[in-house]
Structure 1
Amino acid sequence: MNDKDGRQRGFEVVSAYMEKGIELPARKTGSSAGYDIQAAEDVTLLPHQVTLVPTGLKAYMQPDEYLGLHVRSGFSIKNQVSCINSQGIIDADYYNNPDNEGHIMLPLINHGEKAVKIARGMRVAQGIFYRYLLVDGDRAGCGAGRGGGFGSTGDR
């Protein structure tokens, strides 16, 4: 994604949410690792259910990076909520995919007995950019590119 304007990594608003006042994620202190991510809509997390919470965002990054999604600790502890897969992972090639433009959805599960209401604009998660390593002989980049959105790399 390191294009001619020098961008390396960051966030953008997806086109469907362009006129909805979505705030780009920001770090709150100089030593914060994560960029706070807000909910783009009011959502209710029902007890013992998984709910996809829209963010209205997409992320661009280098090919050897991913964006890790983590539920904010205070929200998680107070409401018994976590990310269903512990850490959400947004791959670099998820950006601008043909199915959903790379819209980041937070897959949250409510472990409690009461519904949890999330208000639009509430800081729910943090995004942290990570670099990863490849094994010798890795050929993943030799095949077809990503063809879809959420969960599009397949079940096998």
Structure 2
Amino acid sequence: MQRGFEIVSKYADKGIKLPYRTTQQAAGYDFECAEDFTLPSIWRHDLLHAFKPLRHREQLTTAELTAGNHDLTPWLVPTGIKAYMRPGEVLMLANRSSNPLKHHLILPNGVGIIDADYYNNEKNEGEIFVQLVNVGLQDVVIKKGQRIAQGLFMPYLLADGEQIPEQRRTGGFGSSDRN
């Protein structure tokens, strides 16, 4: 078992595809959306209410800050896929070039990093989600089977003299965050 993809048990009988390359020279494996998913536009909700005070250099209220920040929070779009790989490897998730151009969808973190120990974690079985934000003026419906990201397996290097962390992953998305 070197590296590859599996379908998480939740989607075992849902007819989703494993990630795939579309051409012989493609570096990335295309990930599809596991189910129909509506991604709301950031411009259609409370974010707009924050612009008037900001434009007039006024302080935003706590409620305005909370509501505006909520609208800017990325959505986790399910893929129904988990990835296994060898130690010393990582799966990098990148946006598809057509997403911002055609659909106004961006990956707010630029690149998603899936570590080898995310596979089969106890919280969500290692299901890979794609963080997306819709910067378009209308909500976007992502259809089941629509390609939403691409993944590349990559080796990584360690620094000399590093103390190996004792912490092991116990949860799912963002679980190694110590803050």
Normalising by structure 2, report the TM-score.
0.80
Larger Rg: 2
Bigger shift: residues 52-61 or 75-84:
75-84
- Match for residue 3 of structure 1? none
2:30 counterpart SS class? strand
Larger relative helix fraction: 2
Q: Is the 8 A contact 2:99 2:106 kept in 1?
A: no
- Which digits, 9 at most, give the CA deviation of each residue in 1:98-151, with x for residues without a partner? 1000000111011122111100011111111111110012223x4031111000
Give the share of equivalent positions with the same residue, in percent.
52
- Which digits, 9 at most, give the CA deviation of each residue in 1:46-83, with x for residues without a partner? 11242111000000011111111112111221122111
Structure 1 stretches of at least 4 aligned residues deviating more than 3 Å after TM superposition: none
Change (3 A) 1:87 1:47: same
- Which digits, 9 at most, give the CA deviation of each residue in 1:81-100, with x for residues without a partner? 11121111100100000100
Larger relative strand fraction: 1
Distance, in Å, in 1 between the alignment partners of 2:167 and 2:144 is 37
Structure 1, unpaired ranges of 5+: 1-6
- Match for residue 125 of structure 1? 149
Q: Write out aligned runs for 1:62-101 (5 A).
A: 62-101=86-125
- Match for residue 154 of structure 1? 177
1:136 counterpart SS class? coil
Q: Report the Cα offset of residue 155 of structure 1.
A: 4.0
Distance, in Å, in 1 between the alignment partners of 2:167 and 2:91 is 22
Normalising by structure 1, report the TM-score.
0.91
RMSD of aligned C-alpha atoms? 1.1
**Residues 1:32 and 2:26 aligned together:** yes
2:20 counterpart SS class? coil
Distance, in Å, in 2 between the alignment partners of 1:66 and 1:10 is 11
Match of 2:77 among 26, 33, 53: 53
